[in-house]
Every structure is written in C-alpha cells, then in structure tokens.
Amino acid sequence: MQKTQDFINGNKDKFLNELLDLLKIPSVSADPAYAGDVRKTAEFVADSLNAAGADKVEIFETKGHPIVYGEKMIDSSFPTVLVYGHYDVQPPDPVELWDSPPFEPVIKKTELHPEGAIFARGACDDKGQMFMHVKAFEAMYQSGELTCNVKFMIEGEEEVGSDNLGLFCEEKKDMLACDVVLISDTSIISNDTPSISVGLRGLSYVEVEVTGPNKDLHSGVYGGAVANPINILSKMIASMMDENNHITIPGFYDKVADLSDAEREAMNKAPFSLDAYKKALNVDDVHGEKGYTTLERASIRPTLDVNGIWGGYIGEGAKTVLPSKAYAKISMRLVPNQTSDEITEIFKNHFESIAPDSVKVEVRPHHGGEPVVIPTNTPEYQAAAKAMMDTFGKEPIPQRGGGSIPIVALFEDVLGVKTVMMGFGLDSDDIHSPNEHYGLFNYYKGIETIPHFYKHYADLKK
C-alpha cells in the first residue's frame, strides 16, 4: 500500500482545498431556502466521485433531497464495501455565536488540535468525514491498489431523519448489494485513544402544542383565572422526570435492555475524565439518571430532552400577556430494545393523559430512528480494528455512542450486512453547535486509515 500512502502524502494540499470548497456550499437540509445549495452540494460530490475514478455516478432524485451514487467494481472475486455518508449539514444557527462565518472555512489551532482544525458547518459532521472516503478511494484507485470493490451512497437528508433513504435502499437493493457498510460519522475518544463505534441510540422526536384560551389575553384581566399554556406545558414537561432523573412515562423503560455488571464495568474502563468533561462545558456538576455514570448516561440509557420551547411574548421590554399557545420540540434517545414508533405512541398517550381539562394538546411526531448495537467478533470489525492499530499504533476501544444515524438499523434488515462505524471526529468538535470544526490530524488520519481497512477486509474475506 506504499503507493497509496505516497499518493496521499503527495496530495495533502489538494485534498484539503477540495474539502474547503465543499464546505463553502451551505447544504442545510432542514431549511427549504437552501434546497438549491443542497443540490449543488450533491453535484459537487458526484463530480468528486467522477474525478476520483468512480463509475456509474448518478444523482438520484427522491421526494426530498437527492442521493449521490457511484461505484468501482474492479473484480467480482473481491468483497464489496458500501460507503455511506451524508453531505447535508445542520442549520448554522445561532450564526452570531460563530467566531467566523459558518460557510467560509478557516483553519485555526486549538488546544486539542495543535496542528490546526477546519472551522465550518459540516467540517466534521459529515462533509469532512464523508470526503475522506472519496479521497482514500482516489488514492487507492489511482495507485492501482484498490483491494475491494466499492460503492458510494451519499445522502442529503441524514440531519432531517433520512426519510427517503429507506425506500431508496429497498428499491435499489440489487445496485447496493455489498458485503459491509462503512461509515465515518462518529467519534474517537481522543487523538491518541482510537475507538470504534459499536452502538447508536435510536430517536423519537415530537413537537407538542398546548392551547389555552382561543386568543392572547390581558394577563391582569384574565391571569389567575384561565390556564396559561406556558405554565401548564412547563409543568407537564417537568413531571416527566422524577427526582432521580428517571423518566416517568409509564412503560418507557419496559423494553430497555439492561447491561450485565461485567459489561458495565468494561465500558466504564474507557478513558474518561469527569473533571475535563465538566471543565470543557463550564459546568460545576453533571446531571443525569441516578445510578449511572456519565459514560453510561450518554450511551446505554434512554433520555428525554426539550430541544426548544416557545410561546408568548419574547420581544423587547415587557408585555403583560396570557398567551393562547405554547410549544415544545422534544426528543427521546432510545436504546435496545425500544422502538421509535412504540415510544412515540407511549409518549403521545401519556402527554395527552396528563393534560388538564383547561388546555387542549396536540402531539405531532417528527422523524425517528432505531437503536443499533454492532458485534465485534466479525471480520468487518476486526478489519477496522487492525486498520486503526496500523495507523494509531494502538488497539481501538469499542464504544457505544449516544448519537443516532437513522438508516443504520435498516442496513442489516434490507441489505443483510453489518455496518462498521469508523469515525474520526472528537466529541468536542462542536458538531451541531457554533464553531463546528474538524482536526487536520483527523482528516488526514482518516484518509490514511481507510485503505488499511480495505486491505485487511480483503485479506480476512479471502
């Protein structure tokens, strides 16, 4: 693989500049105002695949944003790797909290990234990580050292729940046939402690609307005598968590798979400093479910969080008003064996049942996704572990993560293959937050490690 590594070393500036160009296109999938830019990004990805040497590159339309496909089938006796990633990004809001504009990438050094990091929305999640695969493929193919067939499926709707990708996978099952799915869209523990993600949480996401009186009222004339939907909503939300930060929705934990003491002990051996964690977030204490460590709370336990809450008067100064309506967006992270539809249903029933007669409530489900746990005793996991061993010089730690990638559960069901989640970001890279960034070390380490995966995977499948 020397030629591949030489190719990478000889093209470092080119690989970086291309990523910077990709990051300049604001592919915000959640906001229809960016639909044109989302498409331009799909075209950029398609052009990159073509330039790297892929065949059958195509932009597939969906009911939402397009999916980019491309492949290189070099030898029918080689195993086939399906690379999945997403070119869409989260909205950059609140834009005023960015130190530099979100779609004008800049490179700056940070404490954790002394070699420099690229600051831009999508730098880590997932344009930077997805693009590593295009560049690694380019390096392997142009060097004549591609050891697996490869297919790319890069979507534009991951950040809004991948609603159209499931159908695409069903319809294009034959085109997508593969031996393994490879994804870089998760994190490592730190730049000197590699890890491989072996779990994702699922998700139920709902929006609630609480209606009191049929119009906004004078809070002096009516206050105290008519339900204030914001007061009521706050109380309803607060009631869903008890003093141990245990969720009170009946049935919520019924299907939660508990880990054995040995499993919990093993996962808590992963390097983790609670002090550094608190310091990085500037909090004096952490907060979460009683009886579980921070690592456990953020990966193997389900959650309920309000993502946004609004209603009433929030303009300048004070307005005495008793609002007619209050709203909240609420997400629940799920763990095996909870299912998204079931938890959404349980939530809806509970929320409606605790509403007093003085208000009306409506629960509107948004997207969801199922939790995943990935075994480590497989050739695909072992290939990833060996690859990281080669490039980090250390055995990676298998770790269950707290985030969600909605399509992953489906890969096993529809394509019948296992997924490898070999991410290279850091949890501190501020994905979804202002000043998202991705380390240059991480970008290049990813490009360097991916060919090792192909090599080991091909060897193990022989």
Q: Which range of residues in 92-100, 154-162, 168-176, 376-384 is near ligand BES by CB under 6 A?
A: 154-162
Partner that binds at residue 57, options Mn ion, ligand BES, none, CB closer than 5 to 8 Å by kind: none
Q: Does 165 bind ligand BES (CB under 6 A)?
A: no
**Which string of x and - marks every residue 87-126 that binds ligand BES (by CB under 6 A)?**
--------------------------------------xx
Residue 58 CB partners (closer than 8 Å, separation 6+): 46, 68, 69, 70
Partner that binds at residue 371, options ligand BES, Mn ion, none, CB closer than 5 to 8 Å by kind: none
* Distance in angstroms (rounded) separating the CA atoms of residues 362 and 268: 40
**Which string of x and - marks every residue 178-197 that binds Mn ion (by CB under 5 A)?**
-------x------------
Q: Applying CB under 6 A, which of residues 158, 179, 370, 380 lies at the interface with ligand BES?
A: 158
**Which string of x and - marks every residue 128-167 that binds Mn ion (by CB under 5 A)?**
----------------------------------------
Partner that binds at residue 311, options ligand BES, Mn ion, none, CB closer than 5 to 8 Å by kind: none
* Distance in angstroms (rounded) separating the CA atoms of residues 161 and 62: 14
Let me know how long the chain is.
Answer: 462
The 10 Å Cβ neighbour count of residue 365 is 15
Cβ(228)–Cβ(323) under 8 Å?
Answer: yes
Give the full edge-to-edge strand order of the sheet including 305-311: 305-311, 325-334, 202-211, 360-369
Burial class (CB in 10 A: 0-12, 13-18, 19+), 345: middle
Q: Does 179 bind ligand BES (CB under 6 A)?
A: no
Residue carrying the six token digits 């501190």: 428
Q: Does 126 bind Mn ion (CB under 5 A)?
A: yes
Partner that binds at residue 367, options Mn ion, ligand BES, none, CB closer than 5 to 8 Å by kind: ligand BES
Residue carrying the six token digits 């990813």: 446
In the bound complex, which residue of the shown chain has the CB atom lying closest to ligand BES?
Answer: 403
Annotated catalytic residues are: 88, 158
Q: Applying CB under 6 A, which of residues 185, 370, 436, 448 lies at the interface with ligand BES?
A: 185
Q: Does 54 bind ligand BES (CB under 6 A)?
A: no
Judged by beta carbon, residue 30 or residue 35, the one nearer ligand BES is 30
- Record the tokens describing residue 217, joined without a space: 């009222």
Q: Does 198 bind ligand BES (CB under 6 A)?
A: no
Q: Does 374 bind ligand BES (CB under 6 A)?
A: no
Q: Does 330 bind ligand BES (CB under 6 A)?
A: no
Judged by beta carbon, residue 57 or residue 405, the one nearer ligand BES is 405
Partner residues linked to 196 by β-bridges: 398
Nearest approach in angstroms of CB 221 to ligand BES is 43
* Distance in angstroms (rounded) separating the CA atoms of residues 432 and 30: 13
Partner that binds at residue 406, options ligand BES, Mn ion, none, CB closer than 5 to 8 Å by kind: ligand BES
Burial class (CB in 10 A: 0-12, 13-18, 19+), 218: exposed
- Record the tokens describing residue 208, joined without a space: 């609630």
* Distance in angstroms (rounded) separating the CA atoms of residues 183 and 425: 12
- State whether residue 6 is helix, strand or coil: helix
The H helix count followed by the E strand count for the chain is 13, 20
**Which string of x and - marks every residue 256-295 that binds ligand BES (by CB under 6 A)?**
----------------------------------------
- Record the tokens describing residue 321, joined without a space: 């008003």
Judged by beta carbon, residue 203 or residue 240, the one nearer ligand BES is 203
Judged by beta carbon, residue 118 or residue 146, the one nearer Mn ion is 118
Q: Tell how strand 397-400 and strand 195-200 pair up.
A: parallel
Residue 233 CB partners (closer than 8 Å, separation 6+): 208, 210, 309, 311, 326, 327, 328
Nearest approach in angstroms of CB 433 to ligand BES is 11
Nearest approach in angstroms of CB 245 to ligand BES is 20
Q: For binding to ligand BES (CB under 6 A), which residues are involved? A: 125-126, 158-159, 161, 185-187, 203, 367, 369, 401, 403-406
